[in-house]
Amino acid sequence: MIYIENYIYLICIKNKELYEDYVLSQVIGKSKIALNLSAILKTGVVPVLYLMSSPLHAADGEALSQLPLSQVLADEQEIIAQQPESYQLVMDSIQTRDNEVVEAILPNRTSNPENVKRIEAILSEQDWNYLFAERDSAYTYLNFLKAAGKYPALCGTYTDGRNSDAICRKTLATMFAHFTQETGGHNSHSEIPEWRQGLVYVREMGMSEETSGAYGVCDTTIWQGQAYPCGTNPDGTFKSYFGRGSKQLSYNYNYGPFSQSIYGNVEKLLNEPELVADTWLNLASAVFFYLYPQPPKPSMLHVIDGTWQPNDNDRANGLVPGFGVTTQIINGGVECGGSAEHAQSQNRINYYHEFANYLDVEIAPDEVLGCKGMKQFDASGAGALNIYWEEDWGWDANTSDGRVYKCQLVAYQGPYSSFIAGDYTKCVEDKFGVEVYDDLGGNQPPTANAGADQTVDATEPAQVQLSAHASSDDHEIVSYQWRQSDSSGTGLYIASPNAVNTLVTIPAISKDTVFTLELTVADAEGATAKDSVNIIAKVESGNQPPVVTLNAPQEVNEGQANVRVNATITDSDDQEFNLEWSLSNDVEFTTASDGRSIEFTAPEVEHNTSLTATLKVIDGGQNEVSASTTMLVVDVNSGGGEGSCSATDPNASQYPAYNSGTVYTDASNPVSHLGLVYKAKWWVQDSEPSPSNEAWALLSEVELPWDANIAYDGGDQVNHGDSRWEAKWWTKGDLPGQAGVWAKVGPSSCQ
């Protein structure tokens, strides 16, 4: 037995020729490794042991400092050519479209990509709203179409005889079932069945955008922090990478690859992770996860479309085609392998049955839907692929120091992916400390041109079109990124930050400001260039229009006297104005001597009626501004006792009246409007509350008659005419008494 310290390199000689070489171990400090020479000698080889101060230095020559690009690229192509056919199939399935194409997608637009049109033919917006009845408002049908449009392989066209439509239907049923398990409400007491409660959560429970440092491996001394550097908040803390979107994407080392797929760089989503929740990326992240393999697992797409076929090792582990193996891919370590079906896996099966039935997906009698008894994927399976670049620790007698100066493909994740152009070169440079120089007469870095500086009047919100068309490269520019780089403290909205052309919105400002936009372009080899353009925002010094607000009671009783509407007028330029009042329904009124208020007696009405007061103001600069306020005139003789229904809330007057110019969010207090109380469900402005407006939640507990603009679920009851009706299934706009979706259940409860 021989004990050797430090790094050990073993070369075996047989018949005077090199037989095998490999690193035995890296031994740190006083650790030791034992080599049983007797076992080695029995094989007929002669072992030669080298003691090294660092790994892989098997000779005394100096390390190389440079490598020609031609050699590096040739090595890369040779390695990739040795991969199985499934490697190229994966490469084909993860191709993406330009974001400019994606942003142009709209429901039923004739220019939509082919795979988007296929989805639209199978799944309408009405279907989407029905299937995800309790979804967060950020999960829109349009966002799903854009997510699919980014990745052509999702519901793509197969030219080898496979049924593209059938695969698409099965894909949607599979994804939707997993959506519902991952982000569903799981409320068994809800009137909405659990399988239709998907996409409730857009952010991980307990987390918010104010949370700092969550789920980030940000230490720059390890590869995750180096390859996927965490973004920072203004206070210097790290951004959070908690679960966002329909996949609940987590950790910076997952945000980075997804960002690379969407934007061509890892930094975008590392700096703006909130985009995974607030934009179409909330659904694109799930499509990304559906298409990308996680070695040794195959991609879910290749399971569903039949590309992945299990080998004997897979079958021995219970890994066979069907919905069940997609659960193994997603969460097999928790839900799979037991003697009985895990509760979460059973949920997925139940949801899959429902979605498959709705989407006309035929489930074969022998399809394995669960994953009980199913073992984990391993390196001997048919789906095992090596897709990450890692240092090749081999030995090369032809180099001065014995190192091979190549990277190899491995299955475990690292900073360099074979799916990203230029990563092989980066791996060689990083692992071997060399400079790869261009000997191909080759790639020159691109030239970025953000265009000339522009001047704009920003007295009111303004828009500026920026273009990178003047940028150039000796081959092709493959990515563009626009970002605001000034320190003005005023944020600009960049409509298409990764397109050649983009529209920038400047808010109204109070003083002249210079905004700076930085453009970064990159070519296919990863070379980049930057340029900046200034937007010089001016504030005109001319006469500014007044700001007018009206104050009035939210509701009044019919016949009520001395009802007053007051005006507040603010104007930095003028004190005298031309004022013109009006009241709807030809109601008479008197005007105060200063013209800034009116009084009237509320008219007699047969039912609750809206009354609108309007004031038109013209200042000295002939700027004309109008303001309106709406009051509810209550029919005090309308009853309200037993057997009657009131369409107003007696508590409405306790809440502030809705103002069309105010911005409301889900954090805002409730407001009253036309006798009812509402609360905003998300950011909303200039969108009048009503029972049919999805932006508002109706808080008033009142009995409302049937409304063509309101969607009703199966089991909902409503009054219409002299009868009460119950919906048999989801419906909107279908008239009770005429449409078969409604069943008469008795007389109207409002008489």
pLDDT reported for residue 741: 83
User: Helix (H, G, I), strand (E, B), or coil: what is residue 432?
Assistant: helix
CB–CB of 35/23 below 8 Å?
no
Residue 647: which pLDDT band, with cuts at 50, 70 and 90?
low
E strands, 524-608, where? 528-538, 547-551, 555-557, 563-570, 578-583, 590-591, 597-600
By CB atoms closer than 10 A (0-12, 13-18, 19+), residue 326 is buried
Which region among 36-50, 144-158, 321-335, 602-616 has the lowest average model confidence (pLDDT)?
A: 36-50
Mean pLDDT score across all residues of the chain? 85
User: Helix (H, G, I), strand (E, B), or coil: what is residue 59?
Assistant: coil
Radius of gyration of the chain (CA): 34
Q: What is the rounded (10 degree) CA torsion for 403, 407, 408, 410?
A: 120
pLDDT digits (tens, 9 = 90+) for 33-54: 333 444 444 444 444 444 443 4
Residues 5-26: what's their mean pLDDT?
39
CB–CB of 731/741 below 8 Å?
yes
**Rounded distance between C-alpha atoms, residue 740 and residue 63, angstroms:** 82
Q: Compute the residue count for the chain.
A: 751
Nearest to 106 by CA among 144, 70, 138: 144
Report whether pLDDT(556) > 70.
yes
Report whether pLDDT(340) > 90.
yes
Catalytic-role residue among 182, 335, 341, 354: 182
pLDDT reported for residue 235: 72
Residues 642-667: what's their mean pLDDT?
75
Joined tokens for residue 262: 């969407």
Q: Where are the alpha helices (DSSP H) in 376-528?
A: 423-432
Written as one letter, the residue type at 579 is L
Could you say which DSSP state residue 294 is in? B
Residue 637: which pLDDT band, with cuts at 50, 70 and 90?
low
pLDDT reported for residue 541: 67
Residue 488: which pLDDT band, with cuts at 50, 70 and 90?
confident
Residues 284-299: what's their mean pLDDT?
94
Report whether pLDDT(30) > 80.
no
Residue 682: which pLDDT band, with cuts at 50, 70 and 90?
confident
Express as a percent the part of the chain with pLDDT over 70.
90
pLDDT reported for residue 445: 78
Residue 157 to residues 143, 161, 423: CA-CA distances in angstroms?
21, 10, 30
CB–CB of 52/33 below 8 Å?
no
Q: Which residues contact 668 (CB under 8 A, 6 or more apart)?
A: 679, 680
- Tell how far CA 125 is from the center of its chain: 19
| Sheet with strand 624-634: strands edge to edge | 555-557, 624-634, 609-618, 578-583
CB–CB of 48/13 below 8 Å?
yes
| Residue 241 exposure: Cα atoms within 13 Å on the Cβ side | 24
pLDDT reported for residue 29: 31
| Residue 227 exposure: Cα atoms within 13 Å on the Cβ side | 24
Report whether pLDDT(663) > 80.
yes
E strands, 397-524, where? 407-410, 416-417, 435-437, 454-457, 462-467, 477-484, 493-494, 501-506, 513-523
Whether 182 is a known active-site residue: answer: yes
Residue 667: which pLDDT band, with cuts at 50, 70 and 90?
confident
Report whether pLDDT(560) > 90.
no
Residues 85-104: what's their mean pLDDT?
92
- Domains of the chain and CATH, by start: 2-52 (no CATH), 66-83+386-441 (no CATH), 96-206+284-384 (1.10.530.10), 223-283 (3.30.20.10), 454-537 (2.60.40.10), 542-638 (2.60.40.10)
Residues 411-420: what's their mean pLDDT?
89
pLDDT reported for residue 285: 96
pLDDT reported for residue 651: 81
Which region among 45-54, 440-449, 496-505, 686-695 has the lowest average model confidence (pLDDT)?
A: 45-54
Q: Which of 180-184, 438-442, 537-541 has the highest mean pLDDT?
A: 180-184
pLDDT digits (tens, 9 = 90+) for 570-605: 888 888 999 999 998 899 999 999 999 999 999 988
- Tell how far CA 514 is from the center of its chain: 32
Q: Which of 25-39, 597-611, 630-644 has the highest mean pLDDT?
A: 597-611
Which region among 120-134, 284-298, 393-407, 523-537 has the lowest average model confidence (pLDDT)?
A: 523-537
**Element spanning 349, H or E:** helix 343-358
Residues 212-220: what's their mean pLDDT?
88
CB–CB of 295/132 below 8 Å?
no
CB–CB of 265/482 below 8 Å?
no
DSSP letters of 82-122?
A: TS-HHHHHHHHHT----HHHHHT--TT-TTS-HHHHHHHHH
**Element spanning 148, H or E:** helix 141-150
